[in-house]
Amino acid sequence: MLKKSSVWRLTLIYTLLTTVLVTFVLLALYYFSVGQVIRAQETSFHEVVAQHRLLSKQLTQSEYKLQFSPEFQLSGGLSLTFQPEKGLTDVVGRLSSVPEHVSLCPNVSRFPVYQARYDDIEILSGCALPVYEGKVLVAQNRQQLERWLALFWKTSLIAILVTIVIGSLCGLWFSRKVVTKVSSVNRIARKVESGDLSARIPIDDSGDEFDQMAVHINRMLSQLEDSFETVRGTTDAIAHDLRTPLGRLRLQLEYLVCQKEETVKTDVLVGLLEELDRIISTFKSMLELTKLEHGLLGSEKDRVSLDELINDAVELIQPLAEEQNQNILVDLQPVQIRGDSSLLFRAIYNLLDNSVKYSGEGTEIKIKLSSKDLVISDNGVGIPEEDVAKAFQRLSRLDASRSQPGYGLGLPIVKAIINLHGMKIKMTSNNPGLRVRLSLS
C-alpha cells in the first residue's frame, strides 16, 4: 500500500525544484535579452548627457545650437531640445518646449509629449541639463521597451504557472513510481524477515536504476537461499554420513561395557580410535574449508612452478594408478603463478586422486598444462551433468562414490583453493569420462 504522505512530499519537492529551475532560466533569459537592451539604453542616455555637459563648456552658445539642427539630431528614440532662459522662439530641437517639471540630470522623470505629426501623445523619460543660462532636454521614448518588458513578465508568469501544473503532474507520476518501487522492496524485505527466502522483487524490464537494484538484490537473495540450502544439505549429509560410524562406534562401546572381562583387547581399542580419528578428521576438514572460503588460509603467496607441482603429484599418485592398470599421460608447459604451493599441490593431488579412484580400471588419465589452463581428463565412467554442481557441495557424495571411503569434502576444498587463487574450475563430460579445467587467468 502506497503512503500518501510520501507521495505528496516527493511531489512537492519535485515541483519546487522544477519551478526554481525554470525561474532561474527565465531570470537568466531576462538578463541577457530585455535586461541587456535596458542597460544599453541607459548607458546611451547617460553618455549623451555627459557629452552635452562637456560640449556646453567647450563651445559658444551659437556653436552649441548647431548640435540641435536636423543633421546633428541623434536617432534611435533620443530627443534633444535646447531652450534658452528667455524667449520660447529660440527653442531648437525636436520638441517645441521643455516641460517645467522635468527633473535635473542625473535624476530621470516621465512626462507626456504631444506629437502633432502623428496626432498622438507619447510618454518620454528624460532629464534637463542646465547650460548657457538655459537648459537642454535629453529624453527618450521607452514605451516600446516597456511593452516588451510587460509582455516578457506576463509570458514568464504563464510559463511558471504551466511549470507548476506540469511539474506537479510529472512529480506525482514520478513519486508514485519511486514509492511503488521502494514499497515493493520493503514488502519483499518483510517476507524475507518472516523466513520466506524465495521472495523476489518484481522486475519490469525498464532497465532503470531501480531495476538494476532489484536484479542485484534478487541475486543476493538467491545466494542467501543457496547458502541456507547448503547449510540444510550439510546438516542432512552430516546426519546421513556420520550416523553410521557414530552408531557403529556406540555399538562397539556398548559391547565393551557389557563384557564381563575386566581387560579389553588392544585391537578393539585401536579400531575405536581409528573410527574416532576419521570423524575428527571430517570435522577438521570442514573447519579448514570454512577458513579457505573466508580467506583465512593461504594469505602468503610466492612464485610457484605449477608444472613442478604437477610432476610431484603425479609421482605420488602413480603407484595407486598402476594398481588399477591406469595410464597417466602428462603434457606440461613451464608455468609460474603466485600462490600457496602446499594448497595448490593439495588441490592438484585431490583432482588426480579422484580420477584414479572413480574413473575405473584400465582407463587413461591425461594432464595438459598451458599458460591459460590446466586440464585433467579421463575416459572413465564420468559424472552425470545434473550431478556436476552437487559434486562441489559440502558432504555431498554421488552414488558412485558411496563404496569409497570419505565424507565428500575433497572437491569442495579443491574449489575453495582454486577460488582463493583467483582461478575458476569447471567440470564437463569428456565423452566418455570426465574433464576438469582450471582456468589460470
Residue 260 grid coordinates: 564381563
* Residue at 48 is within a domain: yes
* Residue at 392 is within a domain: yes
* Residue at 206 is within a domain: no
| Spatial contact of 435 and 428, defined as CB atoms under 8 Å apart | yes
324 pLDDT higher than 60: yes
Tens of pLDDT, residues 294-303: 666 766 778 8
The count of domains in the chain is 3
* Residue at 198 is within a domain: no
Under the phi-then-psi rule, with left for phi > 0, alpha for psi from -120 to 50, and beta for the rest, what region is 298?
left
Asked if 286 and 140 sit in the same domain, the reply is: no
Asked if 334 and 281 sit in the same domain, the reply is: no
Asked if 124 and 216 sit in the same domain, the reply is: no
330 pLDDT higher than 80: yes
CATH classification at residue 316: 3.30.565.10
Asked if 42 and 151 sit in the same domain, the reply is: yes
Predicted local distance difference test score (pLDDT) of residue 364: 92
List phi, psi (to 5°) of 222.
-65, -45
Instruction: Answer with the residue of higher pLDDT: 241 or 194.
Output: 194
Asked if 107 and 1 sit in the same domain, the reply is: yes
Asked if 84 and 188 sit in the same domain, the reply is: yes
Predicted local distance difference test score (pLDDT) of residue 359: 85
Provide mean pLDDT across the span 200-224: 79
Tens of pLDDT, residues 60-82: 877 777 777 665 554 456 777 77
Residue 83 has, within 13 A of its CA and on its CB side, a CA count of 17
Final residue in a domain of this structure, among 258, 274, 293: 293
Asked if 27 and 44 sit in the same domain, the reply is: yes
Kindly tell me the burial class for residue 380, based on how many C-beta atoms sit within 10 Å of its own C-beta (0-12, 13-18, 19 or more). buried
Give me the domain span that covers residue 118. Answer: 1-192
* Residue at 342 is within a domain: yes
User: Which helix H or strand E contains 268, and what residues bound it?
Assistant: helix 266-293
State the Cα–Cα distance between residues 150 and 163, nearest whole angstrom. 20
What percentage of the chain has pLDDT greater than the value 70?
80
| Spatial contact of 61 and 88, defined as CB atoms under 8 Å apart | no
Beta strand ranges found along 29-133 (DSSP E)? 78-84, 92-93, 109-115, 120-131
* Residue at 199 is within a domain: no
* Residue at 67 is within a domain: yes
Final residue in a domain of this structure, among 293, 327, 357: 293
Provide mean pLDDT across the span 218-240: 71
Beta partners for residue 424, in sequence order: 439
State the Cα–Cα distance between residues 350 and 335, nearest whole angstrom. 20
Asked if 173 and 35 sit in the same domain, the reply is: yes
State the Cα–Cα distance between residues 316 and 352, nearest whole angstrom. 10
1 pLDDT higher than 50: no
Task: Please report which confidence band the pLDDT of residue 367 belongs to, taking 50, 70 and 90 as the band edges.
Answer: very high
| Spatial contact of 122 and 99, defined as CB atoms under 8 Å apart | no
Predicted local distance difference test score (pLDDT) of residue 402: 44
* Residue at 128 is within a domain: yes
Asked if 39 and 176 sit in the same domain, the reply is: yes
Q: What are the CB-based long-range contacts (under 8 Å, 24+) for 259-263?
A: none
Final residue in a domain of this structure, among 293, 326, 356: 293
The runs of H, that is alpha helices, within 194-265 are 209-241, 243-258
Asked if 308 and 249 sit in the same domain, the reply is: no
Asked if 40 and 158 sit in the same domain, the reply is: yes
| Spatial contact of 93 and 137, defined as CB atoms under 8 Å apart | yes
To the nearest 10°, the Cα dihedral for 396, 401, 407, 409?
-60
Asked if 74 and 174 sit in the same domain, the reply is: yes
Beta carbons within 8 Å of 55's beta carbon, 6+ residues apart: 64, 67
